[in-house]
Amino acid sequence: MLVALVAFEGCKDTKKDENKTPPAAGGESPDGNANAPGKQDQIAPDQNKPKQATPPKKPSKPATSKPKEGEVTVKLASDGSDKKITIKGSFDDLASLIDKAEYGKALFIFNDNEEDYDAFKGLDKSAWGAAAVGCTAGSGNANIRPKRCVDPQRAAGIPISKTGTAYEDTLTTDQQTKIDGAINAITTLLASGAYDAVVFSQEKGKETISTGELKVGDKVKKHIFDALFKINEAPAAWA
């Protein structure tokens, strides 16, 4: 009996085990269960979806692509009425603009030195002339200096150097006093009512005056620039 039982067990049908599907690679269960360990979702790309074009890069612009322009209101000395004055920076040579009809009522501002500035202040109008000290043409935009010795004045200077040495970035008390005194003199000219605009040299790409090859401190140039656009305010506002 024992022999017969062993023989019976050995004759069991093994086809059921042979037909089982082996586990899929990556750990997927035979029934395709996506939650089986190792299953990774794969999304087929949409071949018909149009590709988005990359927008072109916008060209970068300089900090100041054109000269600054503003407007101030001044009190006329004659009757106390208000008059609007345009303040304009320019990238152009001032000498090429000053005699144009469109600038006929503009006051041009040039970079001066203390020696010529003081000499002009000490001149009587009767001594004005292209050959007078304080009226002779200088270098850079000071080539329009003779235009301040005509009546009415077409130009006014602001000191930025002394004895050939440019004002440095520290902007000393003496230098600021000199600059602010010159700007006050410009305010007085504007109060005469003879002008409708102020034009000065502006440095390209920056909100500051241009001083050409003369290496003037940035703080000095910025102080003058800001003061011109606040020329109708008290000097305390120019700092």
Q: Where are the domains of the chain?
A: 69-238
pLDDT, position 31: 46
pLDDT, position 39: 47
- Give residue-wise pLDDT tens across range 41-86: 555 555 666 666 666 666 555 556 899 999 999 999 999 999 999 9
Q: Average pLDDT of the chain?
A: 82
Per the model's pLDDT, the better-predicted residue between 14 and 148 turns out to be 148
CA separation for the pair 135, 23 (Å, rounded) = 103
3 state DSSP class of 160: strand
- Give residue-wise pLDDT tens across range 126-153: 888 878 889 999 999 999 999 999 999 9
- Tell me the pLDDT band of 201, cut-offs 50, 70 and 90: very high
CA separation for the pair 62, 220 (Å, rounded) = 22
- Give residue-wise pLDDT tens across range 208-237: 999 988 999 999 999 999 999 999 886 766
At position 131, the amino acid (one-letter code) is: A
Q: Report CA dihedral (181, 187, 189, 193) to the nearest 10 degrees.
A: -170
Query: Is the per-residue pLDDT at 185 higher than 80?
Result: yes
pLDDT, position 59: 58
Which whole-number Å values give the CA distances from 14 to 10, 54, 85, 171, 212, in the listed order? 10, 64, 108, 104, 102
pLDDT, position 127: 86
